Structure 1
Amino acid sequence: MTKIILASASPRRKELLKQLIGDNFQVFTSSYGEERVERVTPEELVTHHSLEKARDVAGNFRDGVIIAADTVVVCGDEVLGKPENENAAREMLRRISGQQIQAITGITVFDIGRDRELTQYETTRIWISDLTEKEIDSYVGTGEPFGKAGSFAIQGKGADFVERIEGDLSNVVGLPLPVLKEMLVELDKEN
């Protein structure tokens, strides 16, 4: 059995991967710093970051399959990352209030032994309800917006703000399972 390595410290990604393949993987956090990449689309940004995370972790192993991902939220033409503080979280929540946003995840599967990389992205559209200042303050007070692209967690209390989604829910959480499954099957076919 090939060793699977998840290049993420995210408990959400760990739980999603566990749903797909069980406990047969290890976690090794990437030390790749997500530097700002200018003049690229959100899709190019997340695929670049996921690929660099996978390559960074691959440098620590001689064999195995690395799975790495990067997720952003896009509102209009603005890429929303993770908030740095409470004020940034409030501002992001105001920005997405009443809007249709997109969660875009880049995912890379890297077979170290064969030096084979597959990288794709998945997009899910999300409609956010109109948020009051009281709702925003209360939500920021929970601490849930921190460490989350766009300052909300659809798998947590942030689900209360979602009117509907179009696409894959696991993508919004941070690891698009149908895409990942297809990538793993494709990699396996090449053996």
Structure 2
Amino acid sequence: MSVVLASASPRRRALVAALGVPFEADPADVDEASDERDPVRLAEALALSKARAVAARRPGDVVIGSDTVVALEGRLLGKPGDAAEARAMLHALRGRAHEVVTGVAVVVAGRHVEAVSHQRTAVVMRAYTDAECEEFIARGEPFDKAGGYAIQDAVFRPVARIDGCECGVIGLPLWTLRQCLAEAGVETGMPALDRCAVCPARD
């Protein structure tokens, strides 16, 4: 039995590695288009869809799926398709509060195991400048990220404050993932990240 991450995201790979569990990445190829407007239901549904897609070809393996949704005053922000869309997202988020919801699913096809959960985090953006937005876009950073930004970007540093799980904003809430893995019979160590020691999600 192998632990498999159904994602090509380097950020999610680094987060799973922090649990100290050997794993491999096998990205899911699923249609993320949806009419669902509730961020929790959407994040959980997409995470489960990704995990199921990979589990179907890997019976017996423990497959992790995850999806992140950014919600700004009832509007859901996905990954920007081009520079104009990234610019519009970053301008809309600037200086304002929004919510990041990351869904997590762990599926074992051969054992009929499906554990699904989510983590919600409130995020407040700082009042970054147009020039800072343009530099971030020019580096090609927004296009694989929900909402078009990365909380951990050391140059742009778009976030002023978070209330909740920082790993959830990056793309995979580790305390939530540990709970889902435990339901699948996989025990992990404590997350080897300083931010996880003080994460409110651990309670």
Over 2 Å off, 4+ runs: none
Counterpart of 2:30? 32
The 1:146–1:158 alpha-carbon spacing in structure 2 relative to 1, beyond 3 Å, is: farther
CA contact (8 A) 2:69 2:101 kept: yes
The 1:101–1:160 alpha-carbon spacing in structure 2 relative to 1, beyond 3 Å, is: same
Return the alpha-carbon distance in structure 2 between the equivalents of residues 186 and 62 of structure 1: 17
Q: Which amino acid aligns with 1:3?
A: S
Counterpart of 1:178? 175
Return the alpha-carbon distance in structure 1 between the equivalents of residues 168 and 78 of structure 2: 15
Question: Paired residue for 2:63, among 58, 62, 66?
Answer: 66
Return the alpha-carbon distance in structure 2 between the equivalents of residues 162 and 153 of structure 1: 9
Question: Paired residue for 1:117, among 114, 117, 124?
Answer: 114
Question: Paired residue for 1:188, among 176, 185, 194?
Answer: 185
5 Å matches for 1:22-101? 22=21, 24-38=22-36, 40-101=37-98
The 1:169–1:19 alpha-carbon spacing in structure 2 relative to 1, beyond 3 Å, is: same
CA shift digits 1:66-118 (9 cap, x unpaired): 10000011111111000100010100000000111111101100122211101
The 1:104–1:86 alpha-carbon spacing in structure 2 relative to 1, beyond 3 Å, is: same
Q: CA deviation at 1:143?
A: 1.4
The 1:138–1:159 alpha-carbon spacing in structure 2 relative to 1, beyond 3 Å, is: closer
**What 5-or-longer segments of structure 2 have no aligned partner?**
187-203
**What 5-or-longer segments of structure 1 have no aligned partner?**
none
Question: Paired residue for 1:162, among 159, 163, 179?
Answer: 159
Q: CA deviation at 1:148?
A: 0.7
Q: Give the TM-score normalised by structure 1.
A: 0.92
SS at match of 1:171: helix
The answer as to 2:15 corresponding to 1:16 is yes
| Identity among equivalent pairs (%) | 36
Aligned length: 186
Counterpart of 1:141? 138
CA contact (8 A) 1:152 1:158 kept: no
